[in-house]
Amino acid sequence: MSELILDNIDNNYVSVIPAAEHSTAAVEESHEHLKYTVETENLAVSFFGREAISDINIKYRSNTITAIIGPSGCGKSTFLRALNFMHDLTPGAIVSGTIKIHGKDISEYDMTDVRRRVGMVFQKPNPFPTMSIYENVVAGLTLHKRHKKSHLDETVEKSLMLAGLWEETKDRLKVSAMALSGGQQQRLCIARTLAINPEIILFDEPTSALDPMSTAKIEETLHILKKDYTIVIVTHNMQQASRVSDYTSFFFLGKLIEHSKTRTIFTSPKQKLTEEYVIGKFG
Amino acid sequence: MYYLLIFENTFTIIETEKKIIRSSKKFSDIVFENLTLLFAITIIVIVVFICFEMFKDSAISREKFGFGFITSEKWDSVKSDYGALTFVYGTVVSSIIALLIALPISIGVAVFLTELANSITKTTVSFLIEILAAIPSIIYGFWGIFVLAPFMRTSVQPALQSTLGFIPLFQGATAGFGLLTAGIILAIMITPIITSITRDVLKAIPVSQREAAYALGSTKWEAIKMALLNAKSGILGATILGLGRAVGETMAVTMVIGNKAQIKESLFEPAYSMASVIANEFAEASGGLHVSALIEVGLILFGVTFIINSLARILIYSFTRKAQAR
């Protein structure tokens, strides 16, 4: 039976895996010396007393991309949002356990400081509608204090460059952000996050509302960002997980079932559940 | 379909034949459409009719005083010399005072209700605000006469005079009845409107916007600032609705403004508003000219309201246009 399943995997992912194989192989070696940027111990989140995720023990290395996969409602987003205090905004949400960022407990940081270190890009592009492209990119900076115009200009150019939006928008930075297409808006949101110079960027299904072209562009951006940031991406799309990530965590019913190198997860997962999900038996 | 042909400086429009495809309409739809159209036209007819009537009935006054009616401070029914400037002044200044007091309070309350309050406080405060809006203006007027005006005379006005007395606005006799008291009564009356609309506007901002602000590391205050920026056109609309009510408010203002046709620097001095003078004098107006003059005051009140609303429209339009495509 398991032989058969493995055969299936090979057939299904034959076009995807070879590309990922090179990158993960290289990553494995180069990452050994890197320290962990994010660590969680016994992390649990409950809403109004009902546990959504529990016993999450995971470690993320810097300069890697980790994909979080799992069926709807398995707690992927809940986990992601715990990492930058986003549950503070949800009524009835209680987060317990330990989260460490750079080895330091998250509760020792100032809350706003955590959110600045841990940037987040959401499922639906959410630029500020009353602001121009320029204003959107620097929104995170101008919120806190005044900055020199030269500094802002520089940040806008750098962030938009990194997010792959500079060429399309450099002539119309004063135009409203709403004039951009959905994919461009999402890249603008990425640029906005980059502008505050975080160390970790969380992506909550960043491409699920976008067309394939925009998706490809954002995946390209992810690869570039990996050089400087730790990236965690929640995705419904398993091809995307295998394309972009070095590591993959599989969540099911609020538990972390398996966390391993992406290639391992997709070719020879240790857990039967992972295997079944990856080949599309459920989910 | 039109083709535009351009031959060196001259152009011609050529119409070609085009078959237009229309869906056939059900009879009931046609009836429904025309019925709603009729209702819509009613609104236009009412506005035009009111305008026309006031214009017609103020003819005597308009012919006698001309444009000088708006610029004259005199209002003397014995000598039959009428001018509306004092009333325009009273209305505009009391409304501005009301807005200056009500706007910050309303925004504060709305922000508290949407962003900070727990559900019990939220329900209670919201309910009380609606109650406040439902109180008839004559009750506000009563309260103004018996509670607010004496309190203004004995406490607020002396206090203002001793601290800000160097400004002409806060000099002179502290009578209790006057522009400032009228402004405060109006402020209390328009706060519920501005608050509830601002609250709804803030509530309508999607959660994703809030999350975006928080994810950028903003504090609660910074996120609220962002929400307010987002909602500015809605808040402006709320303000204008409040202002509209303040400008037209009659009873409560009449009871506390002092009803004296004069323009004085001090806000403590009694004054008169357009709506008040019409209410006070219409019943015992002596002769055609007096009535005509009062109707012309009404016409000006209508005009002021119209101008305020138009300005608001233009402002909101420019805001939203900026937001959509700059």
Task: Say what the pLDDT of residue A1 is.
Answer: 39
Using the predicted structure, report yes or no on whether residue A15 has a pLDDT greater than 50: no
pLDDT at A156 over 90: yes
Q: Please tell me the least confidently modeled range out of A39-43, A242-246, B8-12.
A: B8-12
Instruction: Test B325 with A120 for CB contact under 8 angstroms.
Output: no
Nearest to A115 among B208, B214, B323 (CB): B214
- pLDDT, position A11: 39
Q: Are residues B81 and B218 in the same domain?
A: yes
In a domain, B218, yes or no: yes
Interface test with B, best of A111, A114, A128 (most B CBs within 10 A): A128
B33 touches chain A (CB under 8 A): no
Q: Where are the beta strands (DSSP E) in chain B?
A: 2-7, 10-15, 75-76, 81-82
Q: How many domains does chain B have?
A: 2
Nearest residue of B to residue A82, measured between CA atoms: B215
Q: Residue B235: its chain A contacts at CB < 8 A?
A: none
**B112 and B83 in a common domain:** yes
Closest residue in A to B218 (Cα–Cα): A112
Q: Does A127 touch chain B (CB under 8 A)?
A: yes
- Selected for mutation to probe chain A from B114, B118, B202, B216 (highest A CB count within 10 Å) is B216
Place of tokens 């976008």: A210
* CATH (domain of B263): 1.10.3720.10
Mean pLDDT estimate for chain B: 87
Q: Does A90 touch chain B (CB under 8 A)?
A: no
Q: Which of B10, B26, B57 is a domain's end point?
A: B57
B71-88 per-position pLDDT tens digit: 888 888 888 889 999 999
Tally of helices (H runs) and strands (E runs) in chain B:
15, 4
Contact B289, B178 (CB under 8 A): no
Please enumerate in sequence order all residues whose Cβ is within 8 A of that of A279, keeping only pairs 6 or more positions apart, or say none: A5, A8, A9, A12
Residues B101 and B231 in one domain: yes
Reply yes or no on whether the pLDDT at A21 is more than 50.
no
Say yes or no: B94 and B242 in one domain: yes
* Local confidence band at B21 (pLDDT 50, 70, 90 cut-offs): confident
Does residue A165 have a pLDDT over 60?
A: yes
Flag whether pLDDT at B295 surpasses 50: yes
B102 and B235 both lie in a single domain: yes
How many Å apart are CA A251 and CA A80, to the nearest integer? 12
Residue A209, chain B, CB below 8 Å: the answer is no
B212 CB neighbours in chain A (<8 A) are: 122, 126-128, 189, 192
- pLDDT, average across residues B23-36: 88
> Same structural domain for residues B82 and B208?
yes
Please state, in angstroms and rounded to a whole number, the distance separating the CA atoms of residues B218 and A141: 9
Q: Both B261 and B309 in a single domain?
A: yes
A182 touches chain B (CB under 8 A): no
Tell me: the pLDDT tens digits for A178-210? 899 999 999 999 999 999 989 999 999 999 888
Confidence class of residue A23 from pLDDT cuts 50, 70 and 90?
Answer: very low
Between A124, A128, A144, which is nearest B230 by CB?
A: A128
Residue of B nearest to A124 (CA): B208
Q: Cβ separation of B326 and A174 shorter than 8 Å?
A: yes
pLDDT recorded at residue A210:
87
B124, part of any domain: yes
Q: Are residues B18 and B122 in the same domain?
A: no
Q: Is B68 within the bounds of a domain?
A: no
Q: Are residues B31 and B84 in the same domain?
A: no
Q: Does A94 touch chain B (CB under 8 A)?
A: no
Q: What tokens does B70 get?
A: 């708006």
Q: Which residue has the higher pLDDT, A40 or A1?
A: A40
Domain that holds residue B6: 2-57
Residue B35 in this model has a pLDDT that exceeds 60 = yes
The verdict on B33 and B94 lying in the same domain is: no
B252-to-A243, B272, B279 alpha-carbon distances in Å: 71, 12, 11
> Are B8 and B36 members of one domain?
yes
Average predicted confidence (pLDDT) for chain A:
84
Q: Which two tokens stand for residue A270?
A: 């240790």
Within-domain flag for B277: yes
DSSP secondary structure code for residue B205 in this structure:
S
Asked if residue B192 belongs to a domain, the reply is yes
- B152-197 pLDDT, tens digit each: 999 888 888 888 888 888 888 888 899 999 999 999 999 999 999 9
Q: Compare all CA atoms of chain A with the CA of B219 and give the residue at the minimum distance.
A: A112
Residue B135 forms part of a structural domain? yes
* Cα separations in angstroms, A69 against A52, A74, A208, A217, A259: 16, 9, 13, 21, 10
Residues B242 and B318 in one domain: yes
Interface confidence (ipTM) of the complex: 0.80
Decide if A128 and B217 are in contact by the 8 Å CB cutoff: no
Q: Which residues contact A137 (CB under 8 A, 6 or more apart)?
A: A155, A156, A159, A160, A188, A191, A192, A195
